[in-house]
Amino acid sequence: MDQLFYPKSVVVIGVSENPDNLARNIVQNLFEFQFNGEIHLVGRREGVLFGRRILTSVDQLPEGIDVAVILTPAQTVPGILESCGRKKIPWAIIETGGFREYSEEGGQIENEVLQIARKWKIRVVGPNGIGVFNIDNGFVVPFVKLKRGPVSKGKLSILAQSGGVLLSYANLLTSANVGLSKMVSMGNKMDLNEIDYLRYLIQDPQTEIIGLYLESLERGRELMEIARSTSKPILVHKSNTGEGSRHIARLHTAALANDDRVVEAGLRQADIIRTKDFRSFVNAVKILSLPPIKGKNLVIISRSGGIGVVAADSAERHGFRLLPPDPKLQERFHSFFRAKVIQPTNPLDLGDLFNFDLYTNILEQVLRFPVVDGILFQHGATAEEKEPSRKLIQAVKDLSSRYQKPVALHYNTDEEELAYIKRAFDYPIFTEPEDALAALAVSREHYRKLNVLKEKPPVFSVDRDRAQAIFQKAKKEKRDSLLLQEAFEVLRAYGISVADYQVVHQKEEIGKAVQRIGLPVALKIISKEVSHKSDVGGVILNLSGLREIEEAYRQMDSSSGVLIQKMVSGGREVILGGKRDPSFGPVVLFGLGGIYVEVLKETSLRIAPINRFEAEEMISELKAGVILRGIRGERPSDRDALVENLLRLSQLMIDFPEIEGIDINPVMAMEKGALAVDARILLSKGGSA
């Protein structure tokens, strides 16, 4: 892919001398950004543009051109790409729109283009995008006219599906004086997609931070694997976040784990920073250019006591701890104040000080303390304070670098001075305390996850053959779900305990079953057609006598039999679930269970396979999880048993790709152990994934 970003020669196809021609903007950008390779031009008519001759056919080009940039009507692209293939041009950037995003006919043309590209082994960027930017060598080829002046070289590279979003980010980041390395408008992702570009960028020495804007995410599992393979921060702004998975709505899990929740879980697990808007993306990029904040201990230094209070509230919301000042340091700071009316606390109010050298002195003394993880420095400058403030900003930058701790600078001044500061200093400036503290929290979590031991998922000894036989039987009978007792047998094969049960087909079998299981019991109908048994009277609970059990059995009248199960009392109901996401693959779910699961809708998700740390995190992150720890004198539930069940469920989902979804609801979390009381397992219609 070096050849794409660092070509020695390029041809722009679709140019003309017409001032309104968009392809001429591509050529102009190459000159504006001082591209140092050969530039060839092809159009419908001969002419001269920017001192270069316009050829009328790709066939007239010399051999050895690296990249073709194409901006012609969609119906002409297949023929042009065929010509590029004959000339052995290995890369094509197709900026034309009007393909599958536009119409069915456009989709057919796109398929034709892809077939031609594969025939000639041409790799394609787009179509329906604005191309590639490489600030490092000036290979900048969007059809939108750009200016080089405000754009600086940097270490951030961005991939985006939308050309408009990419330009918005370029403008916002340039305004914030964030340097750029490479950008790609991926468009329809007909051939190359974010995974292909990511593989290149994580190896690219010019890229230290990677940002993505995605509207669709078809290869989420691969994205996670790539992110785990690098220490470079990856940020994702994911839009188009509607609910999905309605095709398996028979399961609670599907309703509780819509597509965006799965995306959120997958990104978190892989330590990919999720941002919800442009502002948080830009702020995250700013903070990641500073040394990481390695803990929660924060000091706020402010020229305004009121703004310091606002910042303190925000710091608490974002999980920071405001350290009380060291007594000796507090005494020293107090000696600096003139009126002695302000106590040097945290936040440290500098309102009584007008000595900028003292600000630097105080900042350095705070940074020296080992227990201080980071600083929010809030500064404001009036007209006569602008010059000394510029010197202070340089000192902030130097001290943050020297002590390898972040100093998030929140700076209030007039717009003209702020614009100058952003241009003049290679240091991030925040204009609100909330922005700075939210960004610091991003840095803290990224550093924490980088340093969490990457524990491997455990592998349990299970009876895989037993489970396999059950799935094969269902497949042979062309069923897309298991019967209740089959689901229980699969769980038992994987070491997930099930409340004792027995299936009976005749009234005469009930007595022996009850004698073995014990009272009280529940009766559950076994049927291929019934999913939620309680909705159709297919469950009768708390039966304590033989006669009432026999009467309940008669009412059910099931040709497939009735399952008699021991009633479990004294536990807390939870749900364990699994589903297969088209992008991320197997997903596991945990939440409070029983009849309240769809009312509370408080669940946690992880992409399988999960390790023990992730399973424990799934339980602890639920607000309602405090119930499992025991409240008002109640005994706690067996957390270890729930963790192990989640790990075993994860292994089951990985081992059998034919499983479309699983509900184990409820699982009774006991003081010792945990028992599954009900379960449903759906299979993919093809029988395998």
Q: What is the pLDDT of residues 527-545, one digit of tens each?
A: 876 555 544 468 999 999 9
CATH architecture of 289-450: 3-Layer(aba) Sandwich (3.40)
2-215, which class in CATH?
alpha beta
Q: Which of 485, 418, 408 is nearest to 681 (CA)?
A: 485
**Whole-angstrom distance, CA of residue 294 vs CA of residue 374:** 8
Q: How confident is the model at residue 605 (pLDDT cuts 50, 70, 90)?
A: very high
Average pLDDT value over all residues in the chain: 90
Write down the pLDDT at residue 97: 93
Domain boundaries for CATH 3.30.470.20 within the chain:
572-683
Q: How confident is the model at residue 250 (pLDDT cuts 50, 70, 90)?
A: very low
Superfamily of domain 500-567: ATP-grasp fold, A domain (3.30.1490.20)
Residue 235 bridge partners (DSSP): 211, 273
What is the pLDDT averaged over residues 559-583?
92
Write down the pLDDT at residue 352: 64
Burial class of residue 607 (count of CB atoms within 10 Å of its CB; 0-12, 13-18, 19+): buried
Residue type, 544: S
Lowest mean pLDDT among 74-83, 137-146, 385-394, 642-651: 385-394
**236 neighbors 216 (Cβ within 8 angstroms):** no
And the tokens for 398? 């130097």
Domain boundaries for CATH 3.40.50.720 within the chain:
2-215
Q: Which residue has the higher pLDDT, 370 or 323?
A: 370
What is the pLDDT averaged over residues 434-457?
89
**266 neighbors 607 (Cβ within 8 angstroms):** yes
- Examine the pLDDT at 493 and tell me if it is beyond 60: yes
Residues 6+ apart with CB under 8 A from 616: 639, 643
Helix H or strand E segment including 166: helix 163-175
Q: Which residue has the higher pLDDT, 533 or 199?
A: 199
Write down the pLDDT at residue 595: 58
Select the CATH number that applies to the domain covering 572-683 from these four: 3.30.470.20, 3.40.50.620, 3.10.20.30, 3.40.50.150. Answer: 3.30.470.20
SS3 assignment, position 688 = coil
Q: What is the pLDDT of residues 205-231, one digit of tens each?
A: 999 999 999 988 889 999 999 999 999
Question: Would you give the end-to-end CA distance of the chain in angstroms?
Answer: 32
**Whole-angstrom distance, CA of residue 485 vs CA of residue 138:** 66
Domain boundaries for CATH 3.30.1490.20 within the chain:
500-567
Q: What is the value of pTM for the model shown?
A: 0.87
Domain boundaries for CATH 3.40.50.261 within the chain:
289-450
Write down the pLDDT at residue 244: 47
Write down the pLDDT at residue 629: 79
Neighbours of 124 (CB within 10 A): 24
Lowest mean pLDDT among 42-51, 578-587, 622-631, 657-666: 622-631
Write down the pLDDT at residue 252: 45
Lowest mean pLDDT among 326-330, 352-356, 415-419, 420-424: 326-330
Q: Which of 452, 281, 438, 316 is nearest to 273 (CA)?
A: 281
Contacts made by residues 49-55, CB under 8 angstroms, sequence distance 24+: 49/15, 49/16, 49/17, 49/24, 52/27, 54/15, 54/16, 54/17
